[in-house]
Amino acid sequence: MILLRRPRSPRSGIPLFKFARCYAHHTVKAETDALGMPLRPTWSIKELLSSYPKPTLASSTLTRIHELSALIPPGEGTKDHEKLKQELEELVRLVEAVKLVNTEGVVFQHWGPELGNGAEPDLEVGVTSSDVPCGSQLLVHAQKTVDGFYVVDADRRR
């Protein structure tokens, strides 16, 4: 048996996925194969999130999200409504947990085409990025615009 620790950053040694109330220094015993690989997962996001309080989402909030998305909400009290509500509550819990991540000492490094790191967008040979329409140039393809914005008519009441 091998004692496993949470993964650490190779540069700083700071535990990865360090949450405010989590397993940053948690050590577990895990059965391993001949190469030292755990036979089963040693931790999970689901397990981590279970230690956070479950948020509640009001039905009116779910309806409002659908209105803003121009979607038809499932009927209140139906299985689809309850399933969607539970899934969104879990997403809210995940977002709240991520917001608690300690980012102190994290250095942001821009990663883009200016660095010549291979992250340049794929373009056809002989085509420069200035030849590719983008932004407000794409509005010419819209059926209807107002003040530089696309307008989408929705068949729903407010």
**Per-residue confidence at 132, pLDDT binned at 50, 70, 90?**
confident
- Supply the pLDDT for residue 16: 47
pLDDT in tens, 61-106: 999 999 999 999 999 999 999 999 999 999 999 998 888 888 888 8
**Contact in structure between 31 and 40 (CB atoms under 8 Å):** yes
Across the chain, mean pLDDT equals: 75
Radius of gyration of the chain measured on its C-alpha atoms: 24
**Per-residue confidence at 122, pLDDT binned at 50, 70, 90?**
low
CA dist., res. 90 & res. 93, Å (int): 5
Q: pTM value? A: 0.47
Of 34-48, 118-132, 144-158, the range with the lowest mean pLDDT is: 118-132
The mean pLDDT of 105-112, rounded to a whole number, is 72
* Residue-by-residue DSSP string for 118-150: S-PPP--TT--GGGS--GGGGGGG-S-EETTEE
Which residue would you say has higher pLDDT here, 89 or 142?
Answer: 89
- Supply the pLDDT for residue 18: 43
pLDDT in tens, 14-44: 444 444 444 444 555 788 888 888 998 888 8
CA dist., res. 141 & res. 150, Å (int): 10
Domain parsing of the chain, residue ranges: 1-51, 52-122
CA distances from 58 to 65, 70, 87, 101, 114 (A): 11, 19, 13, 26, 45
- Supply the pLDDT for residue 24: 46
- Give which of 27, 54, 32 is closest to 43, Cα–Cα: 27
